[in-house]
Structure 1
Amino acid sequence: MNQQSQHLIFDLDDTLIHCNKYFELVLGEYFEQMTAWFEPYGLTTELVRAKQIEIDVAGVNKVGFASVNFPESLIATYRFFSEQYGRELNAEEEKQLFSLGMSVYEQEVEAYPGMVETLERLRGEGHHLYLYTGGEARIQQRKIEQMKLADYFDDRIYIRQHKNVEALENILTLKHFDRHCTWMIGNSLRTDVMPALSAGINCIYIEQKLEWEYNLVEINVKPHHVLYTVSALTEVPEVIHNHLT
């Protein structure tokens, strides 16, 4: 195949910028607080983590990437164990947990290594860059502005609370993408890879060492075109270059 311009759709969180590690930091504080409150009952971090993940994932499946889902999952887990052990609920404790959960959205934004260099190279090679992220517009726009990502994506930025097959299909249809030369690049098997494969576009999966449980699903769709797996964002330009030459 001759070298030609491609349409490259990038995910944001844990693809271009760090995200999951901030949730892990907040969860670390949460586990410490929960095991301290429930120390007389012998509650372990492992039990709290398992229940919180279960509630968190169920919430995202229902409401999408709504910001309140995470703090509400902390409170729901607290209520679950309070009922299980007969510990009285405390409104101040719940208020503390809600504030702790919401604090994850106030963390400083940090780019993944090579973010600027990767986007610069791809743009310089003539590819068309797009940004497609899941979450609330206010929160995601703050990250985009802090990282000055509009310099690369201009008005080609799509923010959706539900990031699934239907959402991606809507974007591809709305903008009349040529699917043979369109790529989805992201870290989530559930919200990046699976929708891309279902939509019949190329895909690069950036595998992360520390991944959110929600993102991990079994791939049961056969790629129409190509699916590459890499371990770092900086590998993306070379993968695309090699594919086109």
Structure 2
Amino acid sequence: MSKDGQHIIFDMDDTLIHCNKYFDLILGEFFELMTTWFQEYGVTTEQIRTKQMEIDVAGVDKLGFASANFPQSLIDTYQFFCKLHHKTPVLHEEEELFKLGLSVYDQEVEAYPGMVETLDTLQNEGHRLYLYTGGETRIQKRKIEQMKLADFFEDRIYIRQHKNVRALEEILSTGQFNRPLTWMIGNSLRTDVVPALTAGINSIYIKQQREWHYNLVELKHEPHNVLFTVSALTEVPEIIADNAITNS
């Protein structure tokens, strides 16, 4: 009897490395600027947060994970409140917001606890590892290089601006994937879990304490595949081991 090595596809941002916390830091600065600029109109942080989130999610739906989407959402939010309160937009304020939004991509790359140990364990157990991340190639490659992720994924790295069922199907159809032996590991119900279950592969959902609103969708039907929910990356190897298929 022998256990087959499995195909394990990892998301990167907020699965292997931190991402959302940097957006939260930039948004904190944005809210401070906005409440100062619109103080006389009584605009609240919650009103600004709600509108920015609405604009940001709509932009990702349309353009995917384009780097300009986030800074543009800050400007669009600013312009919305200018129009609402009959305030003339100020060019240098818009330029400040765009620069602030872009600065999120210059933040330090930081691994989640246990990233190296988790990938080492899975690799040493004979599993084949793949990286599938959403975003622009230049930005994502910088993170991959800084974290030395090619040591684990080699050339099995897929970067897509749109991360959905179609993108995952394209990856699965071009590789030698045995779907019952394939897993998608990620923190997003929208871009990781739902596409995986739709494509007929297994999934592990890494639930974060604070999640980007875009990632949260309802699972509308009982999945026919294996789905686990965990709170830490380090839980993944045990789940993979416990659900290995044994062939004689």
1:107 & 1:144 partners in 2: Cα distance? 14
Cα drift, residue 4 of structure 1? 2.0
> CA-to-partner distance for each residue in 1:30-49, whole Å, 9 max, x for gaps?
00000000000011000000
Indicate the residue corresponding to 2:162 in structure 1. 162
Name the SS of the counterpart of 1:244 in structure 2: coil
Residue 147, structure 1, aligned to residue 133, structure 2: no
Indicate the residue corresponding to 1:173 in structure 2. 173
Indicate the residue corresponding to 1:243 in structure 2. 243
Name the SS of the counterpart of 2:143 in structure 1: helix
Identical residues among aligned pairs (%): 69
Question: 8 Å contact 1:201–1:224 — kept in the other structure?
Answer: no
RMSD value, Cα: 1.1
Indicate the residue corresponding to 1:116 in structure 2. 116
> CA-to-partner distance for each residue in 1:11-36, whole Å, 9 max, x for gaps?
00000000000000000000000000
Question: AA paired with 1:95?
Answer: E
Runs of 4+ displaced beyond 6 Å: none
Indicate the residue corresponding to 1:218 in structure 2. 218
Cα drift, residue 176 of structure 1? 3.2
Residue 206, structure 1, aligned to residue 232, structure 2: no
Indicate the residue corresponding to 1:4 in structure 2. 4
1:16 & 1:71 partners in 2: Cα distance? 24
1:244 & 1:23 partners in 2: Cα distance? 37
Indicate the residue corresponding to 1:104 in structure 2. 104
Indicate the residue corresponding to 1:186 in structure 2. 186
Gaps of 5+ in 1: none
2:228 & 2:2 partners in 1: Cα distance? 19
Name the SS of the counterpart of 1:196 in structure 2: helix
1:237 & 1:4 partners in 2: Cα distance? 14
Name the SS of the counterpart of 2:228 in structure 1: strand
Indicate the residue corresponding to 1:25 in structure 2. 25
Give the alignment's TM-score, normalised by structure 2: 0.97
Question: AA paired with 1:36?
Answer: T
Cα drift, residue 2 of structure 1? 5.7
1:227 & 1:26 partners in 2: Cα distance? 33
Question: AA paired with 2:148?
Answer: K
Question: 8 Å contact 1:26–1:104 — kept in the other structure?
Answer: yes
Gaps of 5+ in 2: none
Name the SS of the counterpart of 2:3 in structure 1: coil
Give the alignment's TM-score, normalised by structure 1: 0.98
> CA-to-partner distance for each residue in 1:150-192, whole Å, 9 max, x for gaps?
0000000000000000000000001131101000000000000
2:104 & 2:45 partners in 1: Cα distance? 20
Question: 8 Å contact 1:9–1:131 — kept in the other structure?
Answer: yes
Indicate the residue corresponding to 2:68 in structure 1. 68
Cα drift, residue 221 of structure 1? 4.1
Q: Number of residue pairs matched?
A: 245
> CA-to-partner distance for each residue in 1:183-238, whole Å, 9 max, x for gaps?
00000000000000000000000000010000000012432320000000000001
2:161 & 2:221 partners in 1: Cα distance? 23
